[in-house]
Amino acid sequence: MKVLVTGGAGFIGSNLVKALCKQGDRVIVLDNLVSGYKNNIHSLHEIDFIKGDIRDISLLDSIMHKVDVIYHLAASVGSKRSIENPILDADVNAMGTLQLLESARKHQVKKMVVTSSAGIFGELKTLPIREDHSVEPCTPYACSKLYAEKISLVYADLYDLDVVCLRYFNVYGPHQRFDAYGNVIPIFVFNLLQGEKLFIYGDGEQTRDFVNVYDVVQANIKASQVDGLSGAFNIASGTSITINDLVSELIHISGVKPNIENAPMRLGDVRHSLADITAAKKAFGYSPTVSLKDGLKEYISWVKEELKEIA
């Protein structure tokens, strides 16, 4: 099968590309390397890597020929980044997705898996959260991802194109580098291992549903294998942990005792997060397998190796 992975040199994308290559797919990776890293996929000699932007419609048209499945992960990511630069956020996430959909339609691609975000829900009213929860995005990033999801499902209704939108909760794992724009696990782990102070925003009793990247990868692949399936689905672990307890777990695993300081809550942060993943289980057999403890152990080991290379 010939597949296109946008953002395939990024954190989640590179893990997906490796899994697709392992199962024998012919993979085209499209990435502008703004937030992706070529060394994430440097060992995958069988892929066709193209440095480019999803907003370049002529480029999309030139590579869409005979593509069977598109995995769309390219994005401008992060609530803080979107607040600082909402125009870029909308251009990449909203218009970039529309360009990709239009190219897919013209070239009669049959299946597309689109990365959405739990951020579209805004502050949660009920827990665990189901797909039919009201959507009240509270950052430009969440708004652009909601648009991308909605326009994708409109294309699924209008054309002969199956589109599955996966609403990721808090994804973590290998290839996730330090991100000052809000991904808490890499921020904590990189700072922890480098002897830096850890900042906990608010009282630390806010909760998050963390899902390992390997489970996210399997969700993408399984969603692409069901004929006639379109819709939006939560992708998470179905469990939650407070930020304070996350820090305690990281200290226990790493053996490092950090200096911790509380800071004011950030704009756009929700208080609690916990997903209901029943719909994804029923629709395409999604079932997370990596525990947070095991996932954090592997991620800490990966970050240690990454820091050695940086040094």
Whether the pLDDT of residue 311 is over 70: the answer is no
* Coil vs helix vs strand at 263: strand
Question: Residue 307 is which amino acid?
Answer: L
Report, as an integer, the average pLDDT of 152-177: 97
Say what the pLDDT of residue 66 is. 84
Which positions are catalytic? 141
Question: Residue 194 is which amino acid?
Answer: Q
Say what the pLDDT of residue 180 is. 55
Say what the pLDDT of residue 182 is. 64
Distance of alpha carbon 135 from alpha carbon 188, whole angstroms: 29
Characterise 202 by phi-psi region: left (phi > 0), alpha (psi -120 to 50), beta (else): left
* Tokens (6 digits) for 165: 């939108």
Strand 241-242 relative to strand 207-208, pairing: antiparallel
Q: Of 138, 135, 139, whose CA–CA distance to 149 is shortest?
A: 135
Q: What is the pLDDT of residues 213-270, one digit of tens each?
A: 999 999 999 999 999 999 999 999 999 999 999 999 999 999 999 999 999 887 767 8
Q: What is the pLDDT of residues 70-99, one digit of tens each?
A: 999 999 987 778 888 899 999 999 999 999
For the chain, the structural domain boundaries read 2-172+212-236+276-289
Report, as an integer, the average pLDDT of 152-176: 97
Residues 261/197, Cβ–Cβ less than 8 Å? yes
DSSP alpha helix (H) spans, 35-120 = 57-63, 79-84, 86-90, 96-106
Distance of alpha carbon 164 from alpha carbon 152, whole angstroms: 8
List Cβ neighbours of 304 (8 Å cut-off, separation of 6 or more): 193
Distance of alpha carbon 103 from alpha carbon 107, whole angstroms: 6
Q: What is the pLDDT of residues 28-49, one digit of tens each?
A: 999 999 999 999 999 998 999 9
Q: What is the pTM of this model?
A: 0.95
Say what the pLDDT of residue 310 is. 77
Q: What angle do CA 91, 93, 94 make, to 5 degrees?
A: 70
In CATH, which of 3.40.50.80, 3.40.50.720, 3.40.640.10, 3.40.605.10 is domain 2-172+212-236+276-289? 3.40.50.720
